[in-house]
Amino acid sequence: FRLLADDKNTNLLKAHGGVVRYQFFRTAEDVQQMEAEGAAPVDSIAVSLDTRKKTGDGGSHRRTPSKKSHSHQSDAGRQSSTLSEGLVSIHTPVCDLGLDHTAGVSAQMRQAFDKLVAQHNVPRAHHFELRHRIYVALAFAAGDSELRYALLRARIYAAAILSQLMNEREFKNAFLSREPNFTADIIGVLQPEVHAPLSVQTAVFLALESLLKQRSEVSGAYVALNASANHGVLMFILRKAFTDVDGPPAFPYELMSALYFFLTAMANNMNGGQLLVSAGVVPVFVSALKHTHSQQLRSIGRAAKLLDYLISSTSSTFPAFCSANGIATLVDRIHSEVMSAVAVSDANPEAAADLTSPVTLPRFPDYPKQLYRRREILAAEQIYLLKELFKLLTHLVQQPSYNDRLRNLVETTLPQTLRTVLNYPAAFGSN
């Protein structure tokens, strides 16, 4: 997985990746089935030989067709006589397959597939996986990084879908028995030295969110992530996401959403919330409340929501929240957002007319879609952020054990902020 995601060592990629590697065990049933379909391997061999005759034998690395392939009948007899059960290993460089490099990737894959199936008598049950191995080898050999990333994302998403559709026992028998280190392998893609693209990291976090539903993978995921360590890969990504207070987001919206979904699943899972608090995620989320860029509003609201859940579910979160000056930061951010909303409302004086104008009821059934809606002044992201900030503050006040730390709230800007909210219904409304 690291080799698929790394795009720095191009020479290493071509040396190790441009080879079709596949092993399978040919059973007695496979031998009987292929002997019953004796004409099919012969056709594949004929196609392979015709392709080689058209492209020429210009290279010592190509095999010279033997005299055994002059007639279909003799091929069928020799094919059935040489088939045997046992382990078969395929290790063929792409450059030795004699492919037409002017054709597309799909055409090259078909050429390589026909030749390898004919040469190694691959049963039908292994055709799909062999196609995948050929695609990966072609991507490495051609240096097509986008194709490699697409194949890697497809494999990660396929495992995530399987974990969603199957129960723990079925998923273990169908997938984990063949890929026992899958969770640790995809987490290795997140390491900074791998230089994985952001689209692949997004797929990894979405897959991890699905894999946490499999109880057998929870502990392994936490160990691979080093979730309880302050220097782990998870904390590295979180700190990078909220580094620049006034700048745009360091990661795209898709990656931040996938990271949020994973952190939510982790906080809801076995000891996940406690591990996050031990790693020092609370100060990072408190620092996220100070970000002012408009494109960060959705991420800040999600950070406040995660803080709310961690405080209510883990007893050690609130002391860490207070130690990071979380209460003062929360009150200041609420005041800042409320005053920003008031400024937007003052710049739109016609918005207050919506509150005094009569409500226009829909005329059914002539206009079934004519519904009355009050025009929103604030952006959806700002409304979401204000909701989460007030919800976090409400839950803190409702906890009797936090009264000692919250008794000084009346001396802050909070009372004035709440009064301002009530005085501007056009800006805040029922939200």
pLDDT at 335: 95
Summary mean pLDDT of the chain: 81
Q: Could you tell me if 237 and 276 are in contact, meaning their C-beta atoms sit under 8 angstroms apart? A: no
State the greatest distance between any 2 C-alpha atoms of the chain, in Å, as a whole number: 97
Q: Could you tell me if 344 and 429 are in contact, meaning their C-beta atoms sit under 8 angstroms apart? A: no
Percent of the residues in the chain that have a pLDDT greater than 90, as a whole number = 37
Q: Could you tell me if 388 and 304 are in contact, meaning their C-beta atoms sit under 8 angstroms apart? A: yes
Show the CA angle centred on residue 348, arms to residues 343 and 354, nearest 5°.
120
**Span 210-257, pLDDT tens digits:** 999 888 889 899 999 999 888 889 999 999 988 877 888 889 999 999
pLDDT at 142: 78
Q: What global pTM score does this model have?
A: 0.78
- C-alpha to C-alpha distance for 289 and 301, rounded to whole angstroms: 8
Sorted by sequence, the CB contacts under 8 Å of residue 324 that are 6+ apart come out as: 282, 283, 286, 287
Beta-bridge partner residues of 23: 89
Helical spans, DSSP H, in 127-269: 127-142, 145-165, 168-171, 182-188, 198-211, 215-225, 233-241, 253-267
Nearest to 277 by CA among 312, 310, 326, 322: 310
**Span 34-79, pLDDT tens digits:** 888 763 443 333 333 333 434 444 443 444 444 444 444 444 444 4
pLDDT at 116: 92
332 pLDDT exceeds 90?
A: yes
Q: Higher pLDDT residue, 66 or 102? A: 102
Q: pLDDT class for 320, splitting at 50, 70, 90?
A: very high
pLDDT at 72: 42
- C-alpha to C-alpha distance for 141 and 126, rounded to whole angstroms: 22
Nearest to 281 by CA among 267, 265, 299: 267
**Span 131-182, pLDDT tens digits:** 988 988 888 887 778 888 888 899 999 999 999 999 989 999 989 888 889 9
Nearest to 204 by CA among 226, 189, 217: 189
pLDDT at 60: 39
pLDDT at 67: 41
**Span 384-424, pLDDT tens digits:** 999 999 999 999 999 888 888 888 898 999 999 999 998 88
Nearest to 286 by CA among 253, 322, 261: 322
Q: pLDDT class for 99, splitting at 50, 70, 90?
A: confident
Across 293-379, the runs of DSSP E, i.e. the strands, are none
369 pLDDT exceeds 90?
A: no
Helix, strand, coil percentages for the chain (3-state, nearest 5): 70, 5, 30
pLDDT at 361: 53
277 pLDDT exceeds 80?
A: yes
Percent of the residues in the chain that have a pLDDT greater than 70, as a whole number = 79
The encoded tokens of residue 254 equal 């898709």
**CA distances (Å), origin 361, targets 358, 369, 399:** 9, 11, 42
Q: Hey, which of 5-9, 31-35, 91-95, 319-323 has the most confident mean pLDDT?
A: 319-323
